Amino acid sequence: MATMTEQKECFVTQLRKGGLVAYPTEAVFGLGCDPLNEEAVNKLLALKERSWEKGLILIAASMGQLDGYIKRVPDHISSRMLSSHDQAITWLLPAKESVPRWVRGTSQSIAVRLVQHPLARELCELAGGPLISTSANKTGQAPLISAEQVRVAFSAAGVFIIDGEVGSGKQTSQIIDPFSNKRFR
């Protein structure tokens, strides 16, 4: 069995090769890829049986990792994002014009989360940027919560699965528009 260090190296290699990856997050296993690799994103969408039009969530280790994706937000919103470290919140923010449609879907906004799970945050740091993060499941099915469940469901599809435990969250992240305070999930 590979050590955690070896698994992390394989994770980054898989991302750079345009592969799909699965990893623990705050409440469920995430399924992701490099957000700038259109072929990888299309493989992910096909695997999940999900339309590109909905857009996808990016997780990041820091605000700096989101600089290429979001327009500047007012200080009170970035402060709110940084102070919400005790819960998994995905924020809908204005996307830069350069953000590919396969990431933001038909929206002018992009869904981003400063990931709280220590391993997921470290994987973003090792990758050098944000990751696509969608729950590890087919659309309409319950999210998977263990590496073993993900192996059964997705290993035949070539998904690299890193071992680890999900956090103590009881549900997937909330999705909030910080400008209107509207909660979507």
Burial category of 163 from C-beta neighbours within 10 Å (exposed 0-12, middle 13-18, buried 19 and up): middle
pTM: 0.92
What band does 184 get if pLDDT is binned at 50, 70 and 90?
confident
* Residue 38's CATH number: 3.90.870.10
Q: What is the pLDDT of residues 64-115, one digit of tens each?
A: 999 999 999 888 888 888 877 667 888 899 999 999 999 999 999 999 999 9
Q: What is the pLDDT at residue 65? A: 96
Q: How many Å is the Cα radius of gyration of the chain? A: 15
Q: Which two tokens stand for residue 125?
A: 């740091």
Residue 168's φ and ψ, nearest 5 degrees, are -90, 5
The span from the CA of 120 to the CA of 40, in Å, is 19
Domain with 123 in it: 4-183
What band does 182 get if pLDDT is binned at 50, 70 and 90?
confident
Domain count, the chain: 1
Beta-carbon contacts of 160 under 8 Å, excluding residues fewer than 6 positions away, are: 10, 11, 14, 19, 20, 21, 22
How many Cβ atoms sit within 10 Å of the Cβ of residue 91?
26
- Checking 151-155 for CB contacts under 8 A at 24+ apart, the result is 154/20, 154/22, 154/31, 154/47
Kindly list the distances between the CA atom of residue 72 and the CA atoms of 31, 52, 68, in Å, as whole numbers in the listed order.
Answer: 28, 25, 10
The span from the CA of 49 to the CA of 32, in Å, is 14
Q: What is the pLDDT of residues 108-145, one digit of tens each?
A: 999 999 999 999 999 999 999 999 999 999 988 999 99
Q: What is the pLDDT at residue 85? A: 65
Averaged pLDDT for residues 139-160? 92
Residue 94's φ and ψ, nearest 5 degrees, are -65, 130
Beta-carbon contacts of 50 under 8 Å, excluding residues fewer than 6 positions away, are: 134, 139
Q: What is the pLDDT of residues 12-56, one digit of tens each?
A: 999 999 999 999 999 999 999 999 999 999 999 999 999 999 999
Reduced to 3 states (helix: H, G, I; strand: E, B; else coil), residue 91 is: strand
